[in-house]
Amino acid sequence: MNTYLVTHGRGNKRLANESASQFVIAATLIVFLIPIWLVNVGVSFFLRKNLFKRIKRRDCLGRVYLVHFFNCGLLKSTAQLLDVLRKNIAVVGLPDDSHEVFVDQCLQRSDSNLLLGMISVFDIHKLTGLCLAERKITTLDQTNKIALKKAALIVIKYIACRIIYRSRREANRSEKQDRFTLFGLNINNVTMNEAVSWIVSKQDTACCKTAVFVNVNSVNLSLSNRGLSQAINQADKVFADGSGVRIACSHIGVDLKDNVNGTDLLPHLCRKASKMDKSIFLLGGQDGVAEKAKNNLLMSYPDLSIAGSHHGYFKPSETNKIIEEINNSGADILLLAMGSPIQEAWLQDHKHLLHCQCALAVGGLFDFFSGKVKRAPLYLRELGLEWVWRLLQEPKTKFNRYVIGNPIFLFRTFVLNQAGEL
């Protein structure tokens, strides 16, 4: 792969000319940033330092760029807008090499007309912790010649995510913590890949290992249900799920690696399980939902082994029979979809009877993959607003959870400061 240097003002070969839309966005941002830039000029003059410094950035194709940053002051990286005006980089373009992405073959050619971006859609995903199973760069999302409206929306989303999800205590925080406590719940800070690898890995003991997902609703429930908080803390792994938890973690200075929610995790898990010849059992949901989810998953992942499925509306007296069915199926992984706090308590009470190597409490996961409930559009998921979509779909059943529960959670986080104290 060719690597070459793009320098400011030297006339070296550039990847391509910026489109008018990128120029308009850069010029508009500069107008709004003039007061801050004047402050930076004043600080540099007072400290007798050079106004700019040039820093190397490498895009995901391995090409190196020299871009401008302010030497002193605020929002130092915005000086790159000058490089955009000079057509050395783009406002919205290719991500840098800090992102784990799969590059399309069409982007690997040396004559690619794509430039490094000040931001990319992957920067938005990184801020919100979004982990898509398909992370290939597409020319539609990353080209320098996307329409003005689309590029502007990406910039707006990025700014919004920076404001919402940036840590309030970045100056005092240490490196990413592998384990932390939020509202009295012990949570594991892992990437999506780490979570999936743990699920499919062999257990040292014969006992089934368990994992649960903690979101705003489960936090609210656990604060009034001691049994639920105990069941969560007794799980082998507890994954942080959702934008609300991410905001609370940001407030207490914890830098979450990824948004490890069950719906985004399952495609990753299915691929990994297929490669490692691990089988899955689906337990939960209304009658027929688990079976539909099973059929849909097999259509998407033909090599996946699904050992069986069963609805979650069985009588307590049938529990031993269901466990025997799971064990006889030879399933390696159990997905339990009964909703909180039932599923967490069920795992706590019965994990010693399960022969599978791992069991996950996955809430309403089967509703999505059975087609019963549609997933939120990507732009809402990128902003961490999937809950808005769920509320619009089921306003009556989700009213207490979101309209009442979310403000209560935020009040406990920002006003009562309970997130890091319980």
Residue 66 sits in the same domain as residue 135 = yes
Across 157-171, average pLDDT: 76
Is 214 within the bounds of a domain? yes
Query: For 348-378, how does the pLDDT look when each residue is reduced to its tens digit (9 = 90+)?
Result: 999 999 999 999 999 999 999 999 999 999 8
Using pLDDT thresholds of 50, 70 and 90, give the confidence band for residue 177.
Answer: confident
Q: Is the pTM of this model over 0.85?
A: yes
Task: Return the pLDDT at 2.
Answer: 38
Residue 128 sits in the same domain as residue 274 = no
Task: Return the pLDDT at 6.
Answer: 45
Rounded to whole angstroms, the Cα distance separating 4 from 164 reads 36
Is 349 within the bounds of a domain? yes
Asked which of 122-126, 176-180, 229-233 is least confident by mean pLDDT, the reply is 176-180
Rounded to whole angstroms, the Cα distance separating 343 from 349 reads 10
Task: Return the pLDDT at 191.
Answer: 95
Residue bearing tokens 């799920």:
241
Contacts by 401-407, CB closer than 8 A, 24 or more apart = 401/217, 405/216, 405/217, 405/220, 406/216, 406/244
Contacts by 25-34, CB closer than 8 A, 24 or more apart = 25/91, 25/92, 25/148, 25/151, 25/152, 25/155, 26/81, 26/84, 26/85, 26/91, 27/85, 29/78, 29/81, 29/91, 29/155, 30/81, 30/85, 33/75, 33/78, 33/81
Residue 154 sits in the same domain as residue 190 = no
Residue 147 sits in the same domain as residue 200 = no
Structure tokens at 55: 């820093």
Across 406-415, average pLDDT: 96
Percent of the chain having pLDDT more than 70?
87
Using pLDDT thresholds of 50, 70 and 90, give the confidence band for residue 141.
Answer: low
Residue 23 sits in the same domain as residue 66 = yes
Is 337 within the bounds of a domain? yes
Is 202 within the bounds of a domain? yes
- Looking at every residue in the chain, the average pLDDT score rounds to 88
Using pLDDT thresholds of 50, 70 and 90, give the confidence band for residue 57.
Answer: very high
| CB contact at 8 A, 366 and 316 | no
Asked which of 133-142, 146-155, 267-276 is least confident by mean pLDDT, the reply is 133-142
Q: Total structural domains in the chain?
A: 2
Note down the domain range covering 92. 5-165
Rounded to whole angstroms, the Cα distance separating 205 from 349 reads 18
Across 18-43, average pLDDT: 91
Q: With 60 as the cut, is the pLDDT of residue 111 above it?
A: no
Residues 6+ apart with CB under 8 A from 98: none
Domain's final residue, options 165, 187, 203:
165
Residue 142 sits in the same domain as residue 183 = no
Task: Return the pLDDT at 135.
Answer: 66
Task: Return the pLDDT at 271.
Answer: 96
Structure tokens at 122: 């992957």
Angstrom CA distances, 286 to 271, 311, 323, 387, stand at 26, 6, 18, 22
Q: With 80 as the cut, is the pLDDT of residue 8 above it?
A: no
DSSP output for 391-402: HHH-TTTTIIII
Domain's final residue, options 112, 132, 165:
165
In single-letter form, the type of residue at position 298 comes to: L
Across 295-321, average pLDDT: 96
Residue 139 sits in the same domain as residue 101 = yes
Angstrom CA distances, 129 to 17, 189, 241, 311, 411, stand at 32, 12, 10, 31, 23
| CB contact at 8 A, 356 and 305 | no
Rounded to whole angstroms, the Cα distance separating 282 from 308 reads 6
Task: Return the pLDDT at 100.
Answer: 72
Is 350 within the bounds of a domain? yes
Which span out of 19-28, 113-122, 327-336 was modeled with the highest average pLDDT? 327-336
Is 420 within the bounds of a domain? no
Is 240 within the bounds of a domain? yes
Residue 403 sits in the same domain as residue 362 = yes
Residue 299 sits in the same domain as residue 261 = yes
Structure tokens at 311: 């609805």
Residue 403 sits in the same domain as residue 296 = yes
Task: Return the pLDDT at 422.
Answer: 63
Across 55-71, average pLDDT: 94
Rounded to whole angstroms, the Cα distance separating 355 from 403 reads 40
Residue 161 sits in the same domain as residue 183 = no
The closest of 105, 65, 83, 101 to 29, measured between CA atoms, is 83
Domain's final residue, options 143, 165, 187:
165
Residue 316 sits in the same domain as residue 232 = yes
Query: For 230-286, how does the pLDDT look when each residue is reduced to its tens digit (9 = 90+)?
Result: 999 999 999 999 999 999 999 999 999 999 999 999 999 999 999 999 999 999 999
Percent of the chain having pLDDT more than 90?
75
Is 274 within the bounds of a domain? yes
Question: How many other β-carbons are positioned within 10 Å of the β-carbon of residue 190?
Answer: 22
The closest of 415, 418, 361 to 181, measured between CA atoms, is 418
